[in-house]
Amino acid sequence: MNPDKYLAALRIHWKEHKSFPSMAKLADVLGLASSGGVFKVLGRLVDAGYLERVDGRIAPTKLFFSLPVLGSARAGLPQPESQDAGHELVNVEDFLVRNPERTLFCRARGDSMKNAGILDRDMLVVERNTPTKPGDIVVAVLDQELTVKYLFPDPAGGWVLKPANPDYPELRAKGSLEVLGVVTGVFRRFER
């Protein structure tokens, strides 16, 4: 029995439906002929920590949503393949979100932060109610307009928002500046 095959089938079903079907329908999802086979597979996945039993039903654990890390690949010259590839598991939410109760996402627009690695349409991980320090990348409302920039004290008093692209000017509030949160991460999907 290959538990990875069954785990993959369950992950695909969860991605599409955000739930598991009844035990009777799980046989179809897993490609098994009997409910005995379903119970055996589920038992192994529970023992491995991918699933848990909650009120008589199965539910995914954090490990269920974790994916294997291929290893590390140089962006320069190639290197020998790591022997540890696939042994580490990472849950994307755990990797990106430190404080779920204070975290939200914001989509970046434009290229004023490209030299900070933030590109048009990137998804920013923003932590609200976090103390800021000079040099933080923040999402802010500047004179009723939303922007993402570096935050620095202004020598003339107040704050200045600085871009990470020399083609754009520094911004200072004419009326109001409210920092909504500090950018703690960024992710993007390459469209194919």
Q: Which domains does the chain have, with CATH numbers?
A: 3-65 (1.10.10.10), 97-187 (2.10.109.10)
**pLDDT for position 126:** 97
Structural element, H or E, at residue 184: strand 177-187
Q: 149 with 158: CB under 8 angstroms?
A: no
Per DSSP, the chain holds a count of helices (H) and strands (E) of: 4, 11
> How far is residue 72's CA from residue 75's CA, in Å, rounded to a whole number?
9
**pLDDT for position 187:** 95
**pLDDT for position 33:** 87
Taking the whole predicted model, whether its pTM rises above 0.75 is answered as yes
**pLDDT for position 83:** 65
**pLDDT for position 44:** 94
Q: Which residues are catalytic?
A: 112, 149
**pLDDT for position 94:** 86
> How far is residue 126's CA from residue 104's CA, in Å, rounded to a whole number?
5
pLDDT-flagged residues of the chain (< 70): 1-2, 82-86
